[in-house]
Structure 1
Amino acid sequence: MSELLWQKPGVEVDPRIQAFLAGDDVLLDREFILDDITASAAHARGLARIGLLTRDECDALCRELQALAADIEGGAFVLDARYEDGHSAIESRLVERLGDVGRKIHTGRSRNDQVLVATRLWLKRRLGELRELCRELAALCLRRAQAEALPMPGYTHLQRAVVSSTAMWWAGYAEAFIDDAVRAGQAHDWLDANPLGTAAGYGVNLPLDREGSTRELGFARMQLSPIYAQLSRGKFEIAAVDALGAAALDLRRLAWDLSLFTTAEFGFVSLPAQYTTGSSIMPNKRNPDLVELMRATYASIAAARVELEQLLSLPSGYHRDLQYSKGALLHAFGRGLGALALLPGLLQGLQWKPERLAQAFDEGMYATDRAIELAREGLPFREAYRLAAVEPLPRAGADPQASLDARVSPGGHAALGLEVLRERMAALSP
């Protein structure tokens, strides 16, 4: 390992202690180091604007930072155990190439604001990806809701309840994913604040051009209070994970539906062959393993949220406990976005089995229609309810399509309101 940034003369570093302190940082920081480099270049230019760096020094630092980014992207530089973390790797590279000029990069900043700004830049992209995935899923569901209107059973308590339709099923998930896209956008906008220049949480005795770095890094605003910059660590990660979790909850329920619908007992849908796997011992099996792992994805996100929340049992100021927030965040978004990215292909290839859907209807599923029919004729609903319990068929008889055509309440099959959902989609910020 290179010399530690914080190492003091005469103090021997115990390698076992240092290994524990560093933890997985060199692995986790591979995800954040390019954002750290971007912020370092903005910091260098800010130092030049207030006269702490000459133009030549600033140009040299930015040139070497750009070269380091290119080496990382091309595989010529790998963050590994030679370094304590990504921050020390950046500074070590600058010192190696530029000597004392490289040592100037840390003027007026701390590793605290480095990790804060890199994490926020990284999360802005991840939340943008989440929003676009949710928009894509909502659009796909709307297309299929428009194109398919097969009668299908609607369930409550996993018992056959009323007549529903594939169009209503698709429309329900379309609206869910629209809301998830909104939630991702709200989380993005909420954390779109620049902490660079807050240093260790108490500011520095330099007139740092924080407004300039805010504009350069593409943040919507500056996070003003250095103390709040530290207080917000963990808090903004939880907000991002919550947005991811909202989409993953809808994914979990959708996956549950497909898990049931693909069983021999239901048999409502078939999945594309590439989205299923075989058994290692039973030649007859095709298993919905992908759907089941999609269903399990929320567990990882929920676990990450709990870990982040538990880390925040702290007083104000920075504490090393917060180092563990990075692993939870990466794990949640890695699994969450990975699962959601596979969902469009799965849903696009899903095929309904009309004959099995039709076989699943029974007379009791029309009882609610009959009760409403009697109530429309002036009978008190509770009396209509009792009559429909023994005489469930409406005037149209056991006709699922007639039942659907009569479902005219907003959002019901005969009044799906897909145009309203399309307008909500169009209103989502890009």
Structure 2
Amino acid sequence: MSDLLWQKSGVKVDADIQGFLAGDDVILDREFMLYDIEASRAHAQGLQRIGVLTEDEFAAIDAELQALANDFAAGDFVLDERYEDMHSAIEARLIERLGETGKKIHTGRSRNDQVLVATRLWLRDRLRQLHALCIESATVALERARAEKAVPLAGYTHLQRAMVSSTAMWWSAWAESFIDDAQRAVDTYRLIDANPLGTAAGYGVNLGLDRDHVTDALHFGRLQLSPIGAQLSRGKFELAALEALGSAMLDLRRLAWDLSLFTSGEFAFVALPAQYTTGSSLMPNKRNPDVIELMRASYASVAAAKTEIEQLLSLPSGYHRDLQFSKGALVHGFGRGLKALALLPALLRELRWNESAMEKALEPSMYATDLAIALAREGLPFRDAYREAANPARWAQGDPQASLNARVSPGGHGDLRLETLQARLDALRG
């Protein structure tokens, strides 16, 4: 490992202790490296604007940082055990290439605000991805809701047959759910879109840093003003981002549960494309819905990440090294969550309904609620209508399409108002 940024003369570094302190940082920091370089370029420009760097020094640093970004992206520079973390790697590279000029890059900043800004930049990109995937899933669901208005589907409560529903109602439910998730991603993005760079170790510095310019250079929506507040936000804004991801993952989990049931032999409502299933190592007859089962399981990683970070935050104000462990949880939670969501739009496009099996599941009892409402419309008090409709002798096989068309409460099959959902979706596309 190269010399440590904080190492003092006469202090011996114990390799085992340092290995524990560094942990997985050089591996995890590969996720954040380009963002740390981007922030370093903005910081250098800010230093030049207040006279800490000359124009030539800034130009040299900026060029080397761009070269480092290119080398890292191409795999020509590897963040490995030679370095304590990405921050030390960037500084070591600048000193190696630029000598004394490279040593000036850390003026007015700390690794505390470096990791804060890199994490916020990283999360902005992940929230954009989350937003796009939710929009895409909602779009597919809305398209299929329009295309399949006439297909009856058994509706369940408590996993018991309840009322006649439709594929259009099922699709519109997921469309609205993922529209809500896209909205939450937007709202969380606005919360996180604040620049902490320049708050240093949490107490500011005796330099007139041009934080407003750096904020604009990094395209942040606003300045995170309080240095102490910036440190207090550590962990909290990561939790907010994971909550936004978790909202979409909860919907994915429930959708996957529906498909797990609907693809079973007992239901047989849905057929999955072959690429979404795998075979058994023993039973030649099996095709298993492993993709949707792992989609269903993926929320666990997001929940675990939230729990791990939340448990780190029993801390007083100021920076504490405990917070280093938030990084792995964040990377793992978003990594697994976004991978699962990325597979969803194509799955929704390609799944096919088995209409004959769906029709067989529509039994007379599922029209009892329609009967109770019809009797109430004729003037019978609803509680009396309810008791009369509960009598199996009154049940008869109804017309599923007539039942659906009569469901005219807003959002019901007879008044789906898909155009309202489309308007919300269109407003979120920007």
Q: TM-score if structure 2 supplies the norm length?
A: 0.99
Q: Secondary structure at the match of 1:322?
A: helix
Q: Which runs of 5+ in 1 are unaligned?
A: none
Q: Which residue of 1 aligns with 2:240?
A: 239
Q: Which residue of 2 aligns with 1:364?
A: 365
Q: Secondary structure at the match of 2:295?
A: helix
**One-letter amino acid matched to 1:323:** Q
| 8 Å contact from structure 1 (residues 368, 392) kept in 2 | no
User: 1:378 and 2:376 equivalent?
Assistant: no
Q: How does 1:208-223 map to 2 (within 5 A)?
A: 208-223=209-224
Q: How does 1:10-29 map to 2 (within 5 A)?
A: 10-29=10-29
Cα shift at 1:428: 1.3
| 8 Å contact from structure 2 (residues 198, 204) kept in 1 | yes
Cα shift readout 1:40-65 (whole Å, capped 9, x = no counterpart): 00000000000000000000000000
Cα shift at 1:397: 5.1
Q: Secondary structure at the match of 2:298?
A: helix
Q: Distance in 1 between matches of 2:406 and 2:349?
A: 29
Q: Which residue of 2 aligns with 1:108?
A: 108
Q: How does 1:112-261 map to 2 (within 5 A)?
A: 112-149=112-149, 150-261=151-262
User: 1:425 and 2:414 equivalent?
Assistant: no
| 8 Å contact from structure 1 (residues 364, 392) kept in 2 | no
**One-letter amino acid matched to 1:354:** E
| 8 Å contact from structure 1 (residues 363, 392) kept in 2 | no
**One-letter amino acid matched to 1:138:** A
| 8 Å contact from structure 1 (residues 304, 332) kept in 2 | yes
Q: Secondary structure at the match of 1:9?
A: coil
**One-letter amino acid matched to 1:286:** R
Q: How does 1:57-72 map to 2 (within 5 A)?
A: 57-72=57-72
Q: Distance in 2 between matches of 1:22 and 1:90?
A: 16
Q: Distance in 1 between matches of 2:33 and 2:263?
A: 44
User: 1:334 and 2:323 equivalent?
Assistant: no
Q: Distance in 2 between matches of 1:345 and 1:420?
A: 24
Q: Distance in 2 between matches of 1:67 and 1:397?
A: 73
Q: Distance in 2 between matches of 1:296 and 1:118?
A: 29
Q: Distance in 2 between matches of 1:220 and 1:393?
A: 63
**One-letter amino acid matched to 2:297:** A
| 8 Å contact from structure 1 (residues 94, 103) kept in 2 | yes
Cα shift readout 1:264-323 (whole Å, capped 9, x = no counterpart): 000000001001000000000000001000000111100100001011000000000000
User: 1:37 and 2:37 equivalent?
Assistant: yes
Q: Secondary structure at the match of 1:67?
A: helix
Cα shift at 1:361: 1.1
Q: Which residue of 1 aligns with 2:86?
A: 86
Q: Which residue of 1 aligns with 2:55?
A: 55
Cα shift readout 1:186-218 (whole Å, capped 9, x = no counterpart): 000011000000000000000000000000000
Q: Which residue of 1 aligns with 2:2?
A: 2
CA distance 1:51–1:367, change in 2 (3 Å): same
| 8 Å contact from structure 2 (residues 135, 429) kept in 1 | no
**One-letter amino acid matched to 2:109:** R
Alignment length, in residue pairs? 429
Please list every run of at least 4 consecutive aligned residues from structure 1 whose deviation after the TM superposition is greater than 3 angstroms. 391-394
Cα shift at 1:125: 0.6
Cα shift at 1:429: 5.3
| 8 Å contact from structure 1 (residues 367, 392) kept in 2 | no
Q: Secondary structure at the match of 1:164?
A: strand
Q: Which runs of 5+ in 2 are unaligned?
A: none
Cα shift at 1:352: 0.1
Q: Distance in 2 between matches of 1:323 and 1:349?
A: 42
Cα shift at 1:391: 5.1
Q: Distance in 1 between matches of 2:262 and 2:425?
A: 28
Cα shift at 1:146: 0.3
User: 1:298 and 2:304 equivalent?
Assistant: no
| 8 Å contact from structure 1 (residues 304, 328) kept in 2 | yes
Q: Distance in 2 between matches of 1:153 and 1:14?
A: 66
Q: Which residue of 1 aligns with 2:346?
A: 345
Cα shift at 1:398: 1.4
Cα shift at 1:255: 0.2
Q: Secondary structure at the match of 2:31?
A: helix
| 8 Å contact from structure 2 (residues 363, 397) kept in 1 | no
**One-letter amino acid matched to 1:171:** S
Q: Distance in 2 between matches of 1:370 and 1:245?
A: 40
Q: How does 1:382-397 map to 2 (within 5 A)?
A: 382-390=383-391
Q: Secondary structure at the match of 1:304?
A: helix
Cα shift at 1:353: 0.2
Q: Which residue of 1 aligns with 2:399?
A: 399
| 8 Å contact from structure 1 (residues 366, 393) kept in 2 | no
Q: Distance in 1 between matches of 2:144 and 2:123?
A: 31
CA distance 1:297–1:73, change in 2 (3 Å): same
Identity of aligned residues (%): 70
Q: Distance in 2 between matches of 1:393 and 1:143?
A: 38
User: 1:98 and 2:98 equivalent?
Assistant: yes
**One-letter amino acid matched to 2:31:** E
Q: How does 1:275-294 map to 2 (within 5 A)?
A: 275-294=276-295
Q: TM-score if structure 1 supplies the norm length?
A: 0.99
Q: Distance in 1 between matches of 2:13 and 2:394?
A: 82
Cα shift at 1:392: 7.0
